[in-house]
Structure 1
Amino acid sequence: MTTTVVRESRGTTDVRLPGAWGLGVRRGALELRQFFRQRDQVVFTFAFPVVFLFLFASIFSDDVEGAGVTASQLYVPAMMAAGIMSTSFQSLGVSIAIERDEKVLRRLRGTPMPPAAYFLGKIWLVLVTGLLETAILLLVGTTLYDVGLPSDAGRWFGLAWVFVLGMTACALLGIAISSVPKSGKSASSVVVLPFLVLQFISGVYISIGTIPDWMLNIGALFPLKWMCQGLRGVFLPESAQVLEQAGGWEFGRVALVLGAWCAGGLLLCLLTFRWKNRRDG
């Protein structure tokens, strides 16, 4: 990290301007303050997956034959994965598109602030909200639906790397898709539709065993399906592996696909991200 030093014309005192990391931390604090000041957004963000978990777990609560788990227990890790994607992909895709449309990005680009500081601020926002969302769903799942906490260090580590890789991949995809909407008003429709479709074909709302193979194959091209599978492997017993499309947790493949999406998402961001709308030139 390069630190800029400004020397006063009189005296010997040096004024050290903060670098990209320091500005990114301050930008992250600003993003968090702005987020938590919008109470309706806070309530919707954290309550949406919890409400859907309660609805689906209440409707489908029977034991799953041969798996040693209940249907409601299957929904907990799936909703955690959806919550992670909601606070990263959906949140960034919509908010950045709106900021671009309102020329916030254009004004920031004209300041001395390093571009990296803006993205670091978004990362802090996504990380904090994602951790809170996951903690809330984990609390609900362990309290109401008898989902056990990871029983050993290996599973805790599994939770950590699935969370980090999934959050990173979805955040990068959110930044990339933010360039697709033509205006801030259309951002929600453009971003929410693919996210909603992915939830249905990735095993969030519907059991893997009842989804046609061709839909599962499409869902397997994106991170959400693998996040769901990885988190099920962390929280569910080994007997539940029979419910997966391949009959196992496939942690190696989960890591490979999520890692590939991190690299691919970064490339998409570098190729597509813009600081101003197309109509602005």
Structure 2
Amino acid sequence: MTTTTTAQPPTTEPAPRIHSLGRSIRLGLSRVGYELKVYARQGDSVFFTFLFPILMLSIFAVAFSNAGNIGAAPDGTGGITWAAFYLPGMVAAGMLLSGVQNLGVDIAGEKGDGTLKRLGGSPLPVISYFIGKIGMVLVSAVLQAALLLVVARFAFGVDLPTGPEKWLLFVWVFLLGVVTSCVLGIALSALPRSGKSATAVVIPIVLLLQFISGVYLQFSMLPEWLQNVASIFPLKWMAQGMRAVFLPESFAALEQTGDWNLPWVAIIMGVWFVVGLFLCRMTFRWIRKDS
């Protein structure tokens, strides 16, 4: 008597992923400290991204200290100081500098000096690299904003908001603005042809946006066509959101639509965040094919 056995095909289990999401996140968080150390050692980056808004606020506050309050009544009473008026723009500029300028120049430099090529040959996942960069920007932007508010309050006597709704508004405008600036900075890093030309390409773009977006110049004083151009870009909406936080409600009448228009602040920044993610996906190259 013979028995016939039917061969069963071997069961195959899917190969485990080389980098799980949890491990990638842990690696990315561990890189935040490293990125902060590298950033702190670059004196030019610290000055032009971290200290620059604080320096500009101090210059404007001192330069216009004898000009009287802005928005004062005809008899000279009321209004706010020029330091208080420029504070929202400087906070918004700091968000843009920390994300767009810092990452745009930094990543372009790492491409030029071969750092990305070396990282591409290591087991480090792309998402961990991005978490390290964005985490560094978030930490430095928070410290910068905190120092800016301390200087405004104690050096120039600016009254800060006291209501929780104002600080809640500050938090979501700040976080959305910073992460949007981060993805746009990563995308912009693909524009310079070399690491040496990164500052020459990125800084003029950032500087031009600051002049047309109500950071250094009163937005309502710009020609209408220039206001419309500035409204395409996110910095104008970051500055408008911050003005809604720090300026009296009467100043909303100076905005292009006559109010703070906070829904559009969220929409425009959200759109640019999505555009930045798309551009990152299209332009960033990690050398390694499996990435």
| Distance (Å, rounded) in 1 between the aligned partners of 2:192 and 2:48 | 22
The aligned counterpart of 1:224 is: 235
Write the mapping of 1:201-220 to structure 2, written as runs, cut at 5 A: 201-220=212-231
The aligned counterpart of 2:31 is: 27
| Distance (Å, rounded) in 1 between the aligned partners of 2:88 and 2:190 | 30
Q: Which runs of 5+ in 2 are unaligned?
A: 1-14, 74-78
| Distance (Å, rounded) in 1 between the aligned partners of 2:90 and 2:47 | 17
Comparing 91-100 with 44-53, greater Cα deviation is found at: 44-53
State the AA in 2 paired with 1:158.
L
Identity fraction in percent: 46
Q: Which of 75, 88, 92 does residue 103 from structure 2 map onto?
A: 92
Q: 1:94 to 1:125 in 2, by over 3 A?
A: same
Structure 1 runs of 4+ aligned residues shifted over 4 Å read 2-5
Determine whether 1:182 maps to 2:181: no
| Distance (Å, rounded) in 2 between the aligned partners of 1:262 and 1:65 | 34
**Per-residue CA shift, 1:234-269, capped at 9, x if unaligned?**
111111112212211111111111111111111111
Determine whether 1:63 maps to 2:63: no
| Distance (Å, rounded) in 2 between the aligned partners of 1:181 and 1:40 | 19
State the AA in 2 paired with 1:60.
F
Note the C-alpha offset of 1:191: 0.5
Note the C-alpha offset of 1:35: 1.7
State the AA in 1 paired with 2:52.
F
Q: Is the 8 A contact 1:204 1:228 kept in 2?
A: yes
Note the C-alpha offset of 1:72: 2.7
Aligned-residue CA RMSD in angstroms?
2.2
| Distance (Å, rounded) in 2 between the aligned partners of 1:96 and 1:273 | 10
Note the C-alpha offset of 1:66: 5.6
Q: Which of 129, 147, 169 does residue 180 from structure 2 map onto?
A: 169
Aligned length: 265
The aligned counterpart of 1:54 is: 58
Note the C-alpha offset of 1:58: 2.1
Note the C-alpha offset of 1:198: 0.5
The aligned counterpart of 1:246 is: 257
Note the C-alpha offset of 1:43: 4.2
**Per-residue CA shift, 1:50-95, capped at 9, x if unaligned?**
1111112222343223683233311011001101111111000000
Q: Which has the larger radius of gyration?
A: 2
Note the C-alpha offset of 1:4: 6.9
Note the C-alpha offset of 1:154: 1.1
Q: Is the 8 A contact 1:93 1:177 kept in 2?
A: yes
The aligned counterpart of 2:41 is: 37
TM value normalised by structure 1: 0.88
Note the C-alpha offset of 1:49: 1.2
Comparing 31-40 with 161-170, greater Cα deviation is found at: 31-40
Q: Is the 8 A contact 2:126 2:286 kept in 1?
A: no
Write the mapping of 1:72-221 to structure 2, written as runs, cut at 5 A: 72-221=83-232
Note the C-alpha offset of 1:147: 2.7
**Per-residue CA shift, 1:212-236, capped at 9, x if unaligned?**
1111111111111111111111111
| Distance (Å, rounded) in 2 between the aligned partners of 1:268 and 1:60 | 41
TM value normalised by structure 2: 0.85
Note the C-alpha offset of 1:45: 3.3
Determine whether 1:233 maps to 2:244: yes
Q: Is the 8 A contact 2:45 2:102 kept in 1?
A: no
